[in-house]
Homo-oligomer: A and B are copies of this chain.
């Protein structure tokens, strides 16, 4: 083969490798909202994707971090603000509220009852399945600092890491699908 062509061919191979790196079969999601319905949506999409062999990386930030709190756990040595946030924010998935302000009449418990009746797994069961399927939960360090949350008050989850926005961006950059919920 001609040398010039060989160069062109290797160049093309490099480009394709770079393209492949940027389009992994991966779903990267920012979970920002702490509303029950949005966390349910995030987990249904995540578990569905993982079941289809897509790598799933979640980035819990702001209000969503409260959904990771374990109602049976508590953290020591919190600041005054940390204690305030601790009281004001829901303690884990069972305490989340609905986003839909126009439906005041319908409580979170009603939705949970309907989900159960329709054989939709509960949020707690979905987190368990998520762990079994290898879904990564990255928790935003800045949000934890702002709200005075500590890792020791979070649920036991096999693939949980504390990290910053740079981790989310690197994950998003290499994944086919990105969502902000």
Interface residues of A (CB under 8 A from B): 1-2, 5, 8-9, 12-13, 15-16, 19-20, 22-23, 25, 27, 30, 32, 34, 37-38, 41, 44-45, 48-49, 52, 54, 61-63, 81, 84, 88-90, 97, 100-103, 105-106, 111, 114-115, 117-118, 120, 142, 145-146, 164-166, 168-170, 172-173, 176-181
Contacts and interface: CB of A to CB of B under 8 A. Distances in A.
Contacts of A20: 15, 19
Contacts of A170: 52
A88 B115 contact: no
| Interface SS of chain A | helix
Contact of A166 (B52, B100, B105, B118): B52
B180 A180 contact: yes
Nearest to A90: B102
Contacts of A44: 142, 165
A173 B19 CA distance: 15
**Residue from A5, A8, A16 with most neighbouring chain B CB atoms (10 Å):** A16
Contact of A179 (B19, B145, B165, B178): B178
B38 A100 contact: no
Given A88-B106, A145-B118, A166-B52, A179 B38 contact: no
20 contacts: A8-B9, A12-B13, A16-B19, A19-B23, A30-B45, A30-B179, A37-B63, A41-B62, A44-B142, A44-B165, A45-B169, A54-B169, A81-B117, A84-B106, A90-B102, A118-B142, A120-B146, A177-B178, A180-B180, A180-B181
